[in-house]
Amino acid sequence: MPHQIPSYIALHRSGELEKRILQAHKLLEQCTLCPRKCKVNRLAGETGFCKTAGKARVASYNAHFGEETPLVGSSGSGTIFFSYCNLGCVFCQNYSISHHGEGIDIDPGQLAAVMISLQKQGCHNINFVTPTHVVPQILAALPISIDKGLSIPLVYNSSGYDAVDTLRILDGIIDIYMPDFKFWNNQSSKKYSKAPDYPEMARKAITEMHRQVGDLKRDTQGIAVSGLLVRHLVMPGSLDETEQIMKFLASLSPEIYVNVMEQYRPCHKAHEYQQIARSLTPDEYKEALNAAHDAGLHRLEQDGVMRLLDKLHLLGD
C-alpha cells in the first residue's frame, strides 16, 4: 500500500476539524466525554472520576519500541502517556500515572510541539495512550500540529471504556484505534475497575471504532496506516471471559488484529483480590490463544512476535 495521507489533514483544510474541536470542548462544561458522565464543569476547574480539569496532563513521551509490531516498525511508535484515567483498574501496572497523576499539565501548543518532536524523531505514528478523558485537549492541539507539518497516523490507545458519542467526534480524525477489551462480565469490571457497565460500553465502542476504520491496513513495510487493533490482557481464572471476548471480536470481523497479552502480573492493589493475586500460567495463556483460534481469529500478535496465520501462510506461503 502506498503512503496514505491521514484524513485529519483534509478535515482541517475543510474547516470540519474546527467544528469537531468546538463540539468536544463544549462537552467539558458538563463532562460527558466517557460513560461515567460525571457532568462536572471541567472548564471551571471541577474534576470528576478522572481527576482532570481543563488541561491535559502528560507523564512522558518517547519513541516506544514495546508496542505492537505494526506500530513499531524500525523507528518506534510516538507514544504520549496521559496522566490519570477514566477506568481505575486495581491491577494497573502504571498506577503512578493512572491513579496518582504523575506528570505535568500542558497547553495545546505544548502538546503540538510534542507531536512534532516525535514525528521529527522518525516515529511512524502518534500514539495517544489513555486519551479518553482528554479528547478535547488532543483535538485543540491538532491544527497547530498540522500547520507545523504533522502528517503521520494518529493512534487512539484506550481502555475501551469509551462513549460512542465522543468516538463519533473523532470519526475521520483517528486513523488507528487500539482499545483494550478487558472484561466480559459486569461483576468483574465492577470489582476490578469500578465500572459495572464496562462490557456493554466496550462492545459498543469497539463496534463504532470498527465501523469508522475497518480492519487493520499496513503499508509495504508492514507499518499500520489505518484500522482497528484490539488488545486483550488475559487475566488469571478468567478464561471464560476471554472466550466470549474472542467470539465477539470474530463476529465483527475474523480479520480483526488482536494482541492476546500474557504479561499480567499482580500490581497496585491486585494482591487484595484472591483470584488475580497471582501471575498468569503458561497453560492459561495457551488456552487463551486456543480460544482466539477457535473463534476464527487469525491475525494474532502473541509472545511479542507477530504471527499472521492467514490462508496463504497455512497453504505454505
pTM: predicted TM-score of the whole model, two decimal places: 0.94
Query: What mean pLDDT comes out for the span 302-310?
Result: 46
The answer to whether residue 159 is domain-embedded is yes
Identify the bridge partners of residue 154 per DSSP, sorted by sequence position. 126
Please give the residue that has the higher pLDDT: either 95 or 146: 146
Does residue 311 have a pLDDT over 50? no
Please give the residue that has the higher pLDDT: either 98 or 138: 138
pLDDT tens readout for residues 260-298: 999 999 999 999 999 999 999 999 999 999 999 999 999
The answer to whether residue 76 is domain-embedded is yes
What is the domain count for the chain? 1
Q: Domain range spanning residue 262? A: 7-314
- The enclosing domain of 147 has a CATH number of 3.20.20.70
89 assigned binding-site residue? yes
Q: How confident is residue 5, by pLDDT bands cut at 50, 70 and 90?
A: confident
Contacts of 282 (CB under 8 A, 6+ apart): none
The answer to whether residue 65 is domain-embedded is yes
The mean of the pLDDT values for the chain is: 93
The answer to whether residue 259 is domain-embedded is yes
d(CA 49, CA 87): 8
Does residue 315 have a pLDDT over 60? no
The residue assigned the cell 503499508 is 219
Decide: 149 and 118 in contact? Cβ < 8 Å: no
34 assigned binding-site residue? no
Predicted local distance difference test score (pLDDT) of residue 303: 52
Q: How confident is residue 3, by pLDDT bands cut at 50, 70 and 90?
A: low
Would you state the cell numbers that stand for residue 311, as one nine-digit string? 490462508
123 assigned binding-site residue? no
∠295-296-298 over CA atoms, to 5°? 125
Q: How confident is residue 206, by pLDDT bands cut at 50, 70 and 90?
A: very high
Decide: 245 and 232 in contact? Cβ < 8 Å: yes
pLDDT tens readout for residues 95-123: 889 998 899 999 999 999 999 999 999 99
The answer to whether residue 100 is domain-embedded is yes
The answer to whether residue 1 is domain-embedded is no
Does residue 310 have a pLDDT over 50? no
**Residue 302, φ and ψ in degrees, nearest 5:** -145, 150
The answer to whether residue 2 is domain-embedded is no
Does residue 210 have a pLDDT over 90? yes
Predicted local distance difference test score (pLDDT) of residue 245: 98
